[in-house]
Amino acid sequence: MAIEVAKVELKTVQDASGLEACIGSGQFSADQVIAVIGKTEGNGGVNDFTRILADQAFRRTLMKLGKRSEPQVALIPMVWSGGCDGVITPHATIFARNDKTGPASKSRLAIGTAMSVELLPEDIGRPAMVEKVADGVKAAMRDAGIDNPADVHYVQTKTPLLTIESVRDAQSRGRDVACEVHNSMGVSNGSTGLGIAVALGEIDMPKAEEICHNLDLYSSVASCSSGVELTQAQIVLLGNKPGAGGRYRIGHSVMKDALDIDGIYESIRNAGLALPERPRAEDLNGRVVNCFMKCEADRRGTLRGRRQIMMDDSDVPWHRHIKAAVGGVAAMAIGDAAVFVSVDAMHQGPQGGGPVIAIVDAGA
C-alpha cells in the first residue's frame, strides 16, 4: 500500500488548515492519515504546551473530516518537536496510506508504527527502557513489512520524560529514578536511541553504565523526542520496500558536526536523487519533501578546532544555539526553512553531529 507525503506550514500553534487543505484537494482522505511529524514554536522544554495544542488541532481535524472515532484517532502517532529557533518554520509532515501498489522492481517508502509497552519512570536511562524500545522497533518493522534492517532509514520516536509527579509515583513504589527531571529529556532520548540501535543490529545491548555515557554507541537512523503527554514509546519507522508503490523514497546519512552540509546532501543521494559533486539547493529541483535531523552541542566545546561557548552561556540554553545553527545549515542546503531539526541527540549519530534523513519524490 502506497504512502503519500505532504509538508504543510503551521500558521499558528493551533493551525491545521494545511492538513484540511490536503484532504479537501483529494491528496488523501482524513481516514488515510497514519502519522504526523512536526515542529512547533514553543520553547522545546518540559513545559512546552505548543506540542499539545498542535496535537489537539490535528486530531480534531481528522475527527471532523473523517469517520474514525476519537479513540481511533487518538492512536495515530503524532510526534511534535518543540522549538523553531533561528530560521526554522513551524510545520508538519503528514503521512497517509492508500490502497495503491507498485511493481516489485521499484523500492518505495513504507511506514510502520508501534507503541511499546508502558515505560515506567524508573525505566528511563536504564536497560529496561532500551529493551522495551527495541521490542517496539521490531514491531514497527513488522507493521511496515520490512524484514531487512538495512532497509530502515528513519525511526522517529516520542517517549515519556520525568515529571515531579512521575518521580513521586516511582518513590511510592520503592523505586528510584536515574536522573533529575530537567535532565530526563536528554536521558530519555538517549536511552531510546540505544534501543533503536539494538533493534536494528547497529550495536549490541549496552551495559547499564554505558547508557548516556559511552557516546561512541549510537544509531544512524534514530530521531528521538520526549514529552509529558505519553507513557509509552510512540514509534514511527520508515524505510524502502519493493512493491510498496507511491512516488517517495527515503535515505539517510549522518552530519559529522554542525557544519556538515555534505552529510545532508549525502542523505538525499542515499534516497535516490543524483546530485553533482558540489550540490546546491537549486540542484534538488523541488524533489526533496523534507529533511529530518538531530543535533547536539559538542560536549568537548569545540567545532572544527574552534572554541565554542554555547554550553557556557547562562542566558540562552545550548539547545537553542545548536538548533538555530543546524537549522540554518539545513535550510540553506535544501532552500526551505521548513526543516525538522531536533536537539538532545545523545546516542543518535556521532558526538557533535547527528543523523540526517531525507524523503524525496522519486517519481512514478
Distance of alpha carbon 138 from alpha carbon 144, whole angstroms: 10
Residues 6+ apart with CB under 8 A from 50: 13, 40, 41, 42, 80, 82
82, with CB counted inside 10 A (0-12, 13-18, 19+), is: buried
Estimate to the nearest angstrom the gap between the alpha carbon of 306 and the chain centroid.
29
- Largest alpha-carbon pair distance within the chain? 60
Look up cell 520503592; give the residue.
174
Distance of alpha carbon 305 from alpha carbon 301, whole angstroms: 9
Catalytically annotated residue among 7, 39, 158, 323: 158
Decide if 158 is catalytic. Answer: yes
Give the residue among 284, 327, 223, 289 at the shortest CA–CA distance from 7.
289
Catalytically annotated residue among 188, 223, 225, 342: 225
> Residue 341 belongs to what H/E stretch?
strand 340-342
Decide if 225 is catalytic. Answer: yes
Report the relative pairing of strands 152-160 and 222-227 from DSSP bridges: parallel
| DSSP-based three-state secondary structure for 64 | helix
Inter-axis angle of helices 318-334 and 261-270, nearest 10 = 50
Active site (catalytic) residues:
158, 225
